[in-house]
Every structure is written in C-alpha cells, then in structure tokens.
C-alpha cells in the first residue's frame, strides 16, 4: 500500500515541487476525455484536486483512473504543482493540484445512497443521513464538529488536570435511585429478579470520591435518562463531571468560570469578560425562566397592582386565583419599536402559542399618540398613566400581558419573550452572554402529591445562611446551587453538597423519604457522611449542549457521532432490537410486550 505522507486538505503552495502521497475518498470526478481526468480527493482535513494527465503519466494509470467513481477509496502519489488551469478560490487547497504518478485503488464503493456534501446534506432527510451515518460523518461540517468536540474535551482534561483534578471512572451498572428521571434498567443475571440501573449521573459516586480523599475529580461520562428526547436532549448524553473538596460556592464558580474563559479564548480568541450573577427569583421575575437569555431586553414586569384597578375580567379572575399558596398575577412585556413585524395576525398567534403552556391567551394592546389603540385598549385606557409610568411606555410600544397562576403567567411570558425576540430578529449574532444563576430555592411544592421536591437534587446543601430555616420554612430556604447559563441555555449546573448526615436526613425527611427508605436507598451515602466527609461541591457541564453552542447548531444529533432518534432508535444499527429467548431465560426476564407474529 502506498504510504501517506500528507493530508489532502493540508496542501498549500509551500508544497509545490514535492512528491506526496495522499489517501482519501473520491469527492467528485470530472472526466474530460482522452486522458484528462480531475478528481477532488477528500480526507478529514479537506479536499485537494488530483489530475490524471495523459501527457504526464502512463496509459495504464489513466486507464485505472477511468474506473474511479464517487466515494472510491484511493491512494495517490504525485507531484504538487500550481494549478495549470487557474486557482479555485472555493478550496483551501485551490491554488495547487497533485499530478498523479501512482494510483492505488484501496477499495471500490457501490453507488452511495447519499453523498457527503454539506450543501446537499441540508436538503436530505435526517432519517436517511442517520441510517448511513458513516457517509454523513465524512462531510466537512461533521468532521469539523467531531474535531471541535475533541478539542473541547482535550481542553477540559488539560485545564482541570492542571488544576489538580484527577480523572476517575465510576460504574455504569449501579443501584436504582428514587427521585429524578426514569432509569434505564439492566437485569442482573447472577441475582434473579434484581436489577442494575444505568447512571443518570455519577452524582453519588463523585461525592463518595470526595469522602474517599480524592480531593478533586473529573470525568467525561455518559449519563442515561429514560425520558422523551427533544431537539437539545438525548436519553444518552455526556457530562463533563466535576467535584471539589474543601470549597465554598465561590470557589467552584471561579474554577468553572476559568474553564469557560479559557475554552473561549482557546477556540475563538474571545474574552468572555466578567460573568454576571443573577438570583433565581430575579431571573424568574424579569425573564420568566431560570436560564435567562440576556442578549436582548424585553424584560417582564409584574403589573398586578395596576391590573387590579381595571374592569377586565381576565385580569380580575387571574388575580383571584391561588395555587400552592401563591396568588395569581398579571405580567407584561413592553415591546418597543421597531415592532412592525408583530402584525395583528402575529400577535393573535401568540395566544395559540400561550395555550401550549396552559395559559388562556395573551391579551395585547399598543400605545398610540393619543392612548391605547388595539386589543384590550379599552380596559387599559383607565390605567394609562400607571402603565406608562411602570413600564416606561412611549408611543408605538406594544404591550403583551399574561394573566394567570404565577407559574403559568411567568412561564408563558418567559417562553413568549424568546419567541418575540426571534420574530423581531433582535437576537444578536456572535454574542456570548454567560451568566451564573444562584440562590435557587431548595424545594418546589408538588401540589399533586402534596410534598416538597428537591429543585436541584436532594444532596444539594442549603446556603450557609439558610440552615436555620431549612426545616421551619423549607419553601423559602435557598440552596447553594448554581447554574451556568449561556445565551439562554443551561450549560452547567451544580451545588455545594450536604456533608453533614443530620442535614442530609432532614432533607430526606422534607421530601417525604422516611428514615427507613433513606437507609435502604442511600444508606451508603449516610454512612459515608458519618465517616469523615469533607465539605465539597461540584458541577456538571452538559458537553453536548456546550458543543452545540460552540459549533452553532440547534440539533443535538449534529454533535453526537451516533445519535438516537426521537423514539430512541439508532437508525444505523437498528437498536433497540429483540434478544434471543435464551438471553431472557438467563437473565430471568419475561416480557409482557405483545409482539406481532412474524409475517410470512
């Protein structure tokens, strides 16, 4: 086999005159007849034109070249020269070409069902691309994403290793844990009727590693949660998982800020500046979401007090609501000019959008030169002065309201705010707004089951100044959790953990785990906390989402080499599939699924 000396995509004018051997796939094939053939050869670094010229090469070489087709795998030895026919500015290697002297066909290819072409790929069904993933991954764009992902994990290892973090693997076959997402489960052959679970995260193991004196831990690990996927969510995903001993909240945030600062510097030569802080409640009030996108305004204002003085039944009814101890609210977004894109039809459509979040609709109006003009103008007119003062309105502004239970009104405007920004096209490109969200509540009230649930996870510590109210006022108690938000997306989340058994037991009690339950399910953790657990805390970065931001895609499948579809299938391998009945017997499993008999 001809031995490669250079990568196709790396050749430049500096290589002119050199004899090189390149290997790769035939990207395109242009036969000019009578012994002049051009091919663009592709490897992971790019394309380079190879020319087979009768005047320069023996006839048998040209003869073999005649048989080449798309996606054939070849090795070529030849001399690099300035292109005789003029440069192609579309290629990085466009100034040069290789004049082939030796050609080795390494492998032919059947006619490929799809071609690895970035322009084509945007038009081809994702379903087809996923089935032939190995062809799709040959595309320059996909190679760029895989390479970028690799650079990110390498940077993470370098940065954290340089800061004293040790890479430690934790088990994949673990015990099922209550709370949280649905577990994937694995039958235990050696223990009939018992099951392992796949980890939703290495959370407990990394805490125990701190108890074990490892001080600083890093792992780039797969996590599995058996829940329905979304555009930015897969059942199987990757975390950059971290934990540190003898630290407080500030120490962890500083370390993690340093990581993203270094990463953005490395990848983009971009200074992320000072990362702002915002409390959870501030985020909810002003942005209606715990991961605000601060790249644009359109902040939310509570106008309940003003709405109470209107005669609008929708407002009045909402203000009379109560749920989980919270009164209903009326909130508003002021949309300044230019807002002409928000036509009557678009604004009416927002009510349909709002209904997906269980809101009745989103009333709106517009301030003209002489008062409110459309929509719910007549109800707003009597409180015009107050609205103008509170929202800072000027003529031309559109105001959109949500009136409902606190959580519904908040979420509706939080989501609508992002939609409006997209509709107005005011989301700035090329801007990286990092934000730490802190002071989360410890618990959320589950009205259906009448109990507290941990907002983050039940190992999150209250903030040091909050221990006093943990049990007396759990709904108010704030945690030592923190989320790193980038452009409205949570890229990392973590907390200082509970390292005191008594506190941990109190939290378990509050979320309705009896002492016996806690012992059975988390006994090993409680034991560990009793046996010399240092103060510790950590973070997990969502690697997939981080890569999505960095390469600029809104599809998580783009950043995973072998992703699954929305129904959890791998279209290439056709997993999941049936197993041999013998495997079921061995693992003591009997399926209750009704399987269609095979057709014949």
Q: Considering only residues 2-41, where is the footprint of RNA by CB under 7 A?
A: 28-36, 38, 40
- Of 133, 141, 225, 417, the residue at the interface with RNA (CB under 7 A) is 225
Q: Which is nearer to RNA, 60 or 582 (CB)?
A: 60
- Binding track over 138-177 against RNA, x by CB under 7 A: ---------------------------------------x
Least distance from RNA to the Cβ atom of residue 456, Å? 5
> Which stretches of 467-597 are DSSP H helices?
501-510, 515-530, 543-551, 581-586
Query: Quick check: 123 binds RNA (CB under 7 A)?
Result: yes
Query: Quick check: 127 binds RNA (CB under 7 A)?
Result: yes
Q: Which is nearer to RNA, 99 or 329 (CB)?
A: 99
Structural contact between residues 79 and 19, judged by C-beta atoms closer than 8 angstroms: yes
Structural contact between residues 328 and 405, judged by C-beta atoms closer than 8 angstroms: yes
Least distance from RNA to the Cβ atom of residue 392, Å? 30
Place of tokens 């959320």: 444
Q: Give the interface segment with RNA, choosing from 47-55, 138-146, 285-293, 380-388 (CB under 7 A).
A: 47-55
Containing 186, the helix (H) or strand (E) segment is strand 185-187
3-state DSSP call for residue 565? Answer: coil
Place of tokens 């054939």: 72
Query: Quick check: 228 binds RNA (CB under 7 A)?
Result: yes
- Of 54, 185, 313, 575, the residue at the interface with RNA (CB under 7 A) is 54
Phi and psi angles of residue 42, each rounded to the nearest 5 degrees, phi first: -120, 135
- Of 44, 233, 286, 384, the residue at the interface with RNA (CB under 7 A) is 233
Query: Quick check: 92 binds RNA (CB under 7 A)?
Result: no
Q: How far apart are CA 377 and CA 568, in angstroms?
A: 48
Q: Which is nearer to RNA, 177 or 433 (CB)?
A: 177
- Of 106, 166, 185, 231, the residue at the interface with RNA (CB under 7 A) is 231
CA 594 remoteness from chain centre: 35
Q: Give the interface segment with RNA, choosing from 80-88, 208-216, 240-248, 526-534 (CB under 7 A).
A: 80-88
Least distance from RNA to the Cβ atom of residue 190, Å? 27
Tell me the two tokens of residue 431.
């801007």
Query: Quick check: 360 binds RNA (CB under 7 A)?
Result: no
Query: Quick check: 59 binds RNA (CB under 7 A)?
Result: no
Tell me the CA distances in angstroms from 304 to 225, 283, 315, 336, 367, one per residue in order. Answer: 39, 18, 8, 21, 19
Site for RNA in 243-302 (CB under 7 A): none
Structural contact between residues 330 and 363, judged by C-beta atoms closer than 8 angstroms: no
- Of 203, 304, 310, 365, the residue at the interface with RNA (CB under 7 A) is 203
Specify the length of the chain in residues: 600
Residues in binding contact with RNA, number by CB under 7 A: 73
Neighbours of 354 (CB within 10 A): 25
Per-residue exposure over 545-575, b if at least 16 CB sit within 10 Å of its own CB, e if not: bbbbebbebeebbbbbeebbeeebebbeeee
Least distance from RNA to the Cβ atom of residue 521, Å? 12
3-state DSSP call for residue 116? Answer: coil
Q: Which is nearer to RNA, 88 or 153 (CB)?
A: 88
- Of 59, 111, 385, 593, the residue at the interface with RNA (CB under 7 A) is 111
Query: Quick check: 450 binds RNA (CB under 7 A)?
Result: no
């Amino acid at each position: 086999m001809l031995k490669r000396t250079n990568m196709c995509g790396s050749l430049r004018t500096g290589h002119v005159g050199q004899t090189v051997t390149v290997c790769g796939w035939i990207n395109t094939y242009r036969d000019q007849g009578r012994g002049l053939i051009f091919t663009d050869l592709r490897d992971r670094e790019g394309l380079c034109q190879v020319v087979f010229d009768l005047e320069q090469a023996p006839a048998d070489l040209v003869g073999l070249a005649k048989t080449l087709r798309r996606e054939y795998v070849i090795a070529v030895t030849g001399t690099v020269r300035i292109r005789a026919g003029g440069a192609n500015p579309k290629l990085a290697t466009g100034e040069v070409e290789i004049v082939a002297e030796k050609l080795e066909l390494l492998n032919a290819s059947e006619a490929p069902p799809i071609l690895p072409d970035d322009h084509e790929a945007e038009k081809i069904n994702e379903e087809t691309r996923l089935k032939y993933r190995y062809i799709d991954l040959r595309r320059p764009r996909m190679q760029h994403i895989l390479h970028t992902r690799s650079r990110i994990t390498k940077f993470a290892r370098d940065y954290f290793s340089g800061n004293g973090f040790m890479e430690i693997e934790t088990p994949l076959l673990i015990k099922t844990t209550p709370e949280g997402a649905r577990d994937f489960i694995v039958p235990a052959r050696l223990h009939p009727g018992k099951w392992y679970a796949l980890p939703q995260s290495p959370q407990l193991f990394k805490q125990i590693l701190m108890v074990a004196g490892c001080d600083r831990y890093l792992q780039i690990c797969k996590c599995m949660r058996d829940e329905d996927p979304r555009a930015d969510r897969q059942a199987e995903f990757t975390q950059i998982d971290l934990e540190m001993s003898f630290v407080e909240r500030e120490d962890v945030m500083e370390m993690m800020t340093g990581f993203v600062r270094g990463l953005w510097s490395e990848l983009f030569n971009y200074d992320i500046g000072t990362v702002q802080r915002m409390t959870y409640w501030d985020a909810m009030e002003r942005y209606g979401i715990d991961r605000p996108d601060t790249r644009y305004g359109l902040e939310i204002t509570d106008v309940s007090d003003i709405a109470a003085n209107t005669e609008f039944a929708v407002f009045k009814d909402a203000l009379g609501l109560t749920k989980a101890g919270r009164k209903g609210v009326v909130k508003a977004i002021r949309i300044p000019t230019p807002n002409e894109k928000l036509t009557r039809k678009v604004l009416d459509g927002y009510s349909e959008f709002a209904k997906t979040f269980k809101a009745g609709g989103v009333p709106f109006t517009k301030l003209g030169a002489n008062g409110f003009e459309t929509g719910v103008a007549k109800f707003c007119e009597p409180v015009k002065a107050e609205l103008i003062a509170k929202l800072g309105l000027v003529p031309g502004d559109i105001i959109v309201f949500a009136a409902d239970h606190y959580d519904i009104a908040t979420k509706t405007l939080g989501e609508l705010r992002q939609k409006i920004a997209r509709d107005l096209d005011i989301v700035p490109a090329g801007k990286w707004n990092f934000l730490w969200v802190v002071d989360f509540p410890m618990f959320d009230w589950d009205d259906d089951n009448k109990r507290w649930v941990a907002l983050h996870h039940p190992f999150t510590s209250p903030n040091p100044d909050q221990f006093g109210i943990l049990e007396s006022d759990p709904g108010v108690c704030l945690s030592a959790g923190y989320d790193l938000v980038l452009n409205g997306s949570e890229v990392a989340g973590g907390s200082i953990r509970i390292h005191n058994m008594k506190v941990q037991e109190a939290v378990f009690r509050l979320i309705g785990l009896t002492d016996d339950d806690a012992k059975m399910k988390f006994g090993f953790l409680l034991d560990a906390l009793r046996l010399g657990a240092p103060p510790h805390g950590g973070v997990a970065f969502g690697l997939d989402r981080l890569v999505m931001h960095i390469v600029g895609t809104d599809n998580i499948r783009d950043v995973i080499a072998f992703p699954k579809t929305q129904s959890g299938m791998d279209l290439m391998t056709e997993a999941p599939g049936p197993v041999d009945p013998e495997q079921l017997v061995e693992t003591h499993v009997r399926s209750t699924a009704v399987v269609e008999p095979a057709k014949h």
